[in-house]
Structure 1
Amino acid sequence: MRAVLCKEHGPPESLVVDEAPSAAVGENEVRIGIHACGVNFPDTLIIQGKYQIQPDLPFSPGSEVAGEVLEVGSGVQHLNVGDPVMSLTGWGGFAEEVVIGADRVLPMPASMDYVTAAGFPMVYGTSYHALKQRASLAAGETLLVLGASGGVGLAAVELGKAMGARVIAAASSADKLEVAREHGADELVNYAEGSLKDQVKALTDGKGADVIYDPVGGEACEQALRCINWNGRLLIIGFASGTIPKIPANLPLLKGSSVVGVFWGDFVRRQPQDNARNFQELFALHGEGRLKPHVWKTYPLERAGEALNALLSRQATGKIVLTTGRS
C-alpha cells in the first residue's frame, strides 16, 4: 500500500510517499480501506519527535480516518466488511489502509461523507468534552473561543451555540472572524485591533466571559484570564502559538476562577462510555443540521507535507483533509 512515511524526525518536507507493508489483522482488529484522513496539529509535532507519544521509525502520521471495512478479525461482532466507518488511529492514517482495534472504530453516520467524517472526531470530540465534562457550560453563559477559525475553535463555536451559550469568537483577521460568524458566533474580537481583555470586557458589561476555550496558549492565555468572569473556567486545550504560558497564580485567585486542563485522548481511554455517549449526541446534532463541519481544503496523499505546512502557517480555517483516491 502507499503511505506517507516519516523515516526521520523533521519538518513536513522530510516526509516521503512510499510503499509500506500491510499489517496482519488480529482477532479483535479490522482493516480499513482509507478514503480520507484528517490533518491535525499533533501530526506536525509527532513527525518532529515533539509529541508525548512517539512511534518507532518509520511510521505514518495521521490520527483520524474515514473509510470502509476491508477485513475483520474473528472476534469482531459489531462490524462487517463493506461498512463505512471512522476511527481514531493515533498514527498511521496518512496511508491507503490501516489496521486498528475494533473498539476504536465507529460506524459512520448516514449524514456524513468520507471527507466530513475524516475531519470530525478529533475537533468535535475534543471541544464537546471540554465544554460538557470539563466546563459544564450552561445555557445563557458567555463562551469566549480563542483561535476561533481553527479546527477545534470552530467546533467550539458551533457547540457553544448548540448548548445555548452566547459565543464570542476571537481570531487574528477579519476573514477568519467571518468564518466564525458564519458558524454561529454572536460577537467577534480581532486580536489585531486592540486589547483582547478590553474588547471582551466591553462586550460583557465589564463582567468577562464565563468559559474561555484556549487552544492557542502564549500571551493570549494570560490576556484571556484577565477578562474571565467570577467563577469562570479557563479551558487549556493546547498551545498552537508554540508557547506554553506561565499563568500568574493570583489571577484565578482574584476571580474565584478555575484553570481546567483538557486531555481528550486520555478521556477516551479512561472514560470510554462517556465518550461513546458524547459521540451519540454529536452525531445527532450533525444529523439535525446543527453542526456544519468546515473543510478548508483537501489534498492528495502526495501533498501531505504541503497540507501540514498550511496548518503550521495558520492559513487554514476549519479542517484540512487528505484523500487517497480510493473510490
Structure 2
Amino acid sequence: MRAVVCKSLGPPDNLVVEEQDDLTPKANEVCIKVHACGVNFPDTLIVEGKYQLRPEPPFIPGAEVAGEVLSVGEKVRHVRPGDRVTALVQVGGFADQACAAGEAVMPIPNEMNYTQASAFPLVYGTVMHALRQRGALQAGETLLVLGAGGGVGLAAVQLGKIMGAKVIAAAGTQEKLSLAKHYGADEAINYSYGSFKDNVKKLTNGQGADVIFDPVGGDLGQECLSCINWRGRYLVIGFAAGDIPHIAANRLLLKGTAAVGVFWGAFVAREPKVNFENFEQLFEWFREGKLRPHISKTYPLEDAAQALADMRARRVTGKVALLP
C-alpha cells in the first residue's frame, strides 16, 4: 500500500510518500480500502508534535477515512467486506489502506459519496455532541459560531439552523462569511473589524448569545464571556488561534454562565451508544438534504504536505480531502 509517513516531527514538508506492507485487521478491527481521507486542523499539529495525541515517529497521519471494507476481524459483526463505510483512526488515514477499531466504523448512506463521507465524522460528530449534549441548544436561542468558514464552524452553522437557532457567523474574511451565509447563517460578523463583543451585542439587542461555539480561542475566546447571555453556554472546542484563553470565573458567576469543554474523542470512547444515535440523526438529515459537507478542494496523496500547509495557513474553507 502507499502511505504518507511522518518520520520526524516538524513542518509538513518533512512528510514522505512510500510503499508499505498491506494491512491485516486484528480481531476487533476493520481493514478499509481508502477512497478519501479527511484533512483536519489537528493533523497539522500532530505532525509537529503539538497536539495532545503524540504518536512516536514513524507514523501515518490522518484521522478520518472513507472507503470499502476489505476484511474484518473475527469479532466484528456489523460490517462485512464490500460495505461502504466511514471510520475514525486517530492516525493512519493518509494511505490507500487503513485499519480502524470496529466501534469506530459506520456504514454510510447510499446517497453519500466517499469524499463527502471522509469529511463527515469528525466535524459533524463534534458539532452534534457540542450542540446537543454539551450546549443543550434549544430552538429560538441564538448561537454564535466562531471560525464559521472552517470545517467545524460551517458544520455548526448548518446544525444550528436545523435545530432551530438564530445563527450568527463570525470569521475573519468576507469570503468565509459569505460561505457561512450560503449555508444558513442569519447574521455575520467580520472580527477583523470593530469590537467583536459590541458587534455581537448589537445583533442580540444587548443580551449576548445563548450558546457560543468557539474552536478559535486566543483573544477572541477571552471576549466571548463579555457577549454571552444570562445562563449562556460557552463551548470550548479548540484553539486554532494558538493561545488558550483564560476564563474569568467572575463572569461565569455574574451571568449564571457555564464554560463547557467539548472533547468528542473521549465522548465516543465513553458513550459509544449515544454517539451512534447522534450519527443516525445526522445521516437522516443528510438523506433528507438538510445538510451537506462543503469540500472546497481535494488533493492527491502526494500533495498531503500542501494540504496541511493550506490548512495551517487558513487558506481552507469548509473541508479538504486527500484522494489516494
The TM-score bracket by the shorter chain reads over 0.9
Query: Partners in 1 of 2:110 and 2:261 — Cα distance?
Result: 33
Q: 1:190-269 to 2 correspondence within 5 Å?
A: 190-269=190-269
Identity of aligned residues (%): 58
Query: Partners in 1 of 2:92 and 2:112 — Cα distance?
Result: 22
Question: What TM-score comes out, normalization by structure 2 length?
Answer: 0.98
Query: Partners in 1 of 2:293 and 2:221 — Cα distance?
Result: 26
**1:183 touches 1:292 (CA, 8 Å); kept in 2?**
no
Q: Could you tell me which residue of structure 2 aligns to residue 106 of structure 1?
A: 106
Runs of 4+ off more than 4 Å: none
Query: Partners in 2 of 1:155 and 1:299 — Cα distance?
Result: 21
Query: Partners in 1 of 2:170 and 2:293 — Cα distance?
Result: 19
Shift of 1:23: 3.1
1:181 maps to 2:185: no
Query: Partners in 2 of 1:286 and 1:69 — Cα distance?
Result: 22
Give deviations 1:242-264, integer Å, cap 9, x for gaps: 11111222221221111000000
- Extract unaligned runs of 5+ from structure 2: none
Q: What code does the residue aligned with 1:184 have?
A: G
Which moved further from structure 2: 71-80 or 213-222? 71-80
Aligned length: 324
**2:23 touches 2:97 (CA, 8 Å); kept in 1?**
no
Shift of 1:28: 2.3
Q: Could you tell me which residue of structure 1 aligns to residue 50 of structure 2?
A: 50
Q: Could you tell me which residue of structure 2 aligns to residue 277 of structure 1?
A: 277
Q: Could you tell me which residue of structure 2 aligns to residue 34 of structure 1?
A: 34
Query: Partners in 1 of 2:99 and 2:305 — Cα distance?
Result: 23
Give deviations 1:225-273, integer Å, cap 9, x for gaps: 1000000000000000011111222221221111000000000000000
Q: What code does the residue aligned with 1:60 have?
A: I
Which moved further from structure 2: 243-252 or 105-114? 243-252
Q: What code does the residue aligned with 1:286 have?
A: F
Q: Could you tell me which residue of structure 2 aligns to residue 10 of structure 1?
A: 10
Shift of 1:30: 1.8
Which moved further from structure 2: 111-120 or 42-51? 42-51
Coordinate RMSD, CA, aligned: 0.9
Query: Partners in 2 of 1:196 and 1:150 — Cα distance?
Result: 18
**1:25 touches 1:73 (CA, 8 Å); kept in 2?**
yes
Query: Partners in 1 of 2:17 and 2:308 — Cα distance?
Result: 14
What SS does the corresponding residue of 1:155 show, helix, strand or coil? helix
- Extract unaligned runs of 5+ from structure 1: none
Q: Could you tell me which residue of structure 2 aligns to residue 133 of structure 1?
A: 133
Which moved further from structure 2: 76-85 or 156-165? 76-85
Q: What code does the residue aligned with 2:179 have?
A: V
Which moved further from structure 2: 67-76 or 284-293? 67-76
Query: Partners in 2 of 1:75 and 1:174 — Cα distance?
Result: 50
Query: Partners in 2 of 1:13 and 1:202 — Cα distance?
Result: 44
Q: 1:273-312 to 2 correspondence within 5 Å?
A: 273-312=273-312
Q: Could you tell me which residue of structure 2 aligns to residue 67 of structure 1?
A: 67
Give deviations 1:154-180, integer Å, cap 9, x for gaps: 000000000000000000111110000
What SS does the corresponding residue of 2:161 show, helix, strand or coil? helix
What SS does the corresponding residue of 2:192 show, helix, strand or coil? helix
Q: What code does the residue aligned with 2:187 have?
A: E
